[in-house]
């Protein structure tokens, strides 16, 4: 569901937060497994499945370690007390929970555009200043990354060995890369302020987003919120 890019970014944020909350609240293996399976299915149907699968492969060792630790060493857990001995079920539960959290976060990052995120935060009535600065940062990350790469190339072309020697030496090697980067960033910041004025910028403007949510969005939001309420009532208050 989250993978479908037609969902409103606000829906995605709500769905993402609910799943993460559910992952922590639920104490049943089956609930976690069902959630993980549903999200996995949704992500595999999306156009970002290549990215998801590749990233998940890298996480396999982490999941194995989590399984082993929780199965055999849960006695030393700082958070909860369990009976001593080998507890494979706990291992499966904990690694599956970790898997669910990783998968959901990954899906969120993969399917939400930075622009959507900014717009969604904007429509959640966050202060425009903060949202604008976030958007600007995202927009300029790319410029800074490009600059960093270009400076690194220029300095190594001048015989600067960056990744050689002790840790201290290596850190020192990066000084000739960082100085021009800072200077450029400060210069760019000055130009940016100028450019903002040229486009008649003022911080007092209202947010421009405010599209109506579609029925599908409402259904998805409703579904996740009710699941969350049910889980809270069941696990935390034992009402149902």
Partner 1 sequence: MEAVGKNGLRVENLGCKYDKDWVFRNLNFEVKPGEAVAIVGPSGSGKTTLAYCLVGIIPNRIKAEVEGRIIVDDKNVLTSKIQENVKLINIVMQNYEMQIFGLTVEEDLAFSLENLGLDNHEIEVKVRWALEKFGLMNYRTYYVHELSGGLKQRLAIASAIIMAPKYLVMDEPMANLDWGGIMELAKTINMLKMDGKGLIVMTRRLKGLENSIDRVISLNGEGILIKPEVKLCENIPPSSPSYGSDPVITFENVWFRYSKEKDYTLREINLEICRGQCVALMGPNGSGKTTLVKHINGLLKPVKGRVIILGKDTRGYSTAQLSRFVGMVFQDPDKHITCETVWDEVVFGARNLGLSEKYAEDALRDLGLIDRKNDPPYLLSMGEKIRLSIAGALAMDPEILILDEPTTGQDERTLAIISSMISRLKSMGKTIIVVTHDSDFALSVSDRVIVMRDGTIAADGSPQEILLNRLVVEELGLEPPAELLKLAEVMA
Q: Of residues 17, 46, 156, 185, which one binds partner 1 by CB under 8 A? A: 156
Q: How far apart are CA 185 and CA 191, in angstroms?
A: 10
CB crowding 62-88: b at 16 or more within 10 Å, else e = ebeebbeebbeebeeeeeeeeeeeebe
In angstroms, give the least distance from the CB of 187 to partner 1. Answer: 8
When the beta carbons of 113 and 222 are compared against partner 1, the nearer one is 113
Q: Of residues 59, 69, 101, 196, which one binds partner 1 by CB under 8 A? A: 196
In angstroms, give the least distance from the CB of 155 to partner 1. Answer: 6
Q: How far apart are CA 186 and CA 214, in angstroms?
A: 43
Which residues have a Cβ under 8 Å from the Cβ of 216 and sit 6 or more positions away?
6, 7
Q: Of residues 6, 157, 236, 240, which one binds partner 1 by CB under 8 A? A: 157
Residue 205 near partner 1 by CB under 8 A: yes
Region of 10-18, 32-40, 95-103, 176-184 interacting with partner 1 (CB under 8 A): 176-184
DSSP secondary-structure letter at 85?
A: S
Q: How far apart are CA 98 and CA 61, in angstroms?
A: 12
CB crowding 163-200: b at 16 or more within 10 Å, else e = eeeeeeeeeebeebbeeebeebbeeeeeeeeeeeeeee
Q: How far apart are CA 214 and CA 138, in angstroms?
A: 28
When the beta carbons of 191 and 214 are compared against partner 1, the nearer one is 191
Region of 33-41, 73-81, 103-111, 185-193 interacting with partner 1 (CB under 8 A): 185-193
When the beta carbons of 128 and 235 are compared against partner 1, the nearer one is 128
When the beta carbons of 6 and 84 are compared against partner 1, the nearer one is 6
Which residues have a Cβ under 8 Å from the Cβ of 11 and sit 6 or more positions away?
213, 217, 220, 221
Positions in 116-155 near partner 1 (CB under 8 A): 118, 135-136, 138-139, 142-143, 147, 150-151, 153-155
Task: Return residues touching partner 1 (CB under 8 A).
Answer: 113-115, 118, 135-136, 138-139, 142-143, 147, 150-151, 153-162, 175-176, 179-180, 183-184, 187-188, 191-192, 194-202, 205, 208
């Amino acid at each position: 569901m989250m993978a479908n890019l037609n969902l409103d970014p606000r829906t995605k944020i709500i769905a993402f937060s609910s799943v993460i909350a559910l992952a922590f609240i639920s104490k049943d293996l089956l609930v976690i497994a069902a959630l993980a399976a549903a999200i996995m299915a949704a992500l595999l149907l999306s156009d970002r499945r290549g990215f998801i699968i590749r990233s998940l492969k890298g996480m396999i060792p982490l999941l194995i370690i989590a399984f082993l630790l929780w199965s055999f060493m849960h006695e030393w857990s700082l958070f909860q007390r369990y009976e001593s001995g080998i507890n494979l079920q706990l291992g499966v539960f904990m690694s599956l929970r970790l898997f669910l959290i990783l998968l959901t976060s990954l899906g969120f990052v993969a399917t939400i555009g930075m622009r959507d995120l900014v717009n969604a935060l904007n429509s959640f009535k966050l202060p425009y200043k903060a949202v604008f600065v976030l958007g600007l940062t995202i927009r300029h990350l790319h410029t800074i990354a490009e600059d960093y790469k270009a400076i690194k190339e220029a300095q190594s072309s001048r015989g600067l060995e960056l990744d050689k020697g002790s840790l201290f030496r290596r850190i020192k090697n990066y000084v000739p890369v960082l100085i021009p980067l800072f200077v450029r960033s400060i210069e760019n910041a000055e130009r940016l302020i100028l450019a903002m004025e040229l486009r008649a910028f003022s911080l007092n403007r209202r947010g421009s987003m405010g599209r109506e949510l579609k029925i599908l969005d409402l259904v998805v939001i409703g579904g996740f919120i009710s699941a969350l309420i049910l889980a809270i009532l069941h696990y935390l208050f034992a009402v149902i």
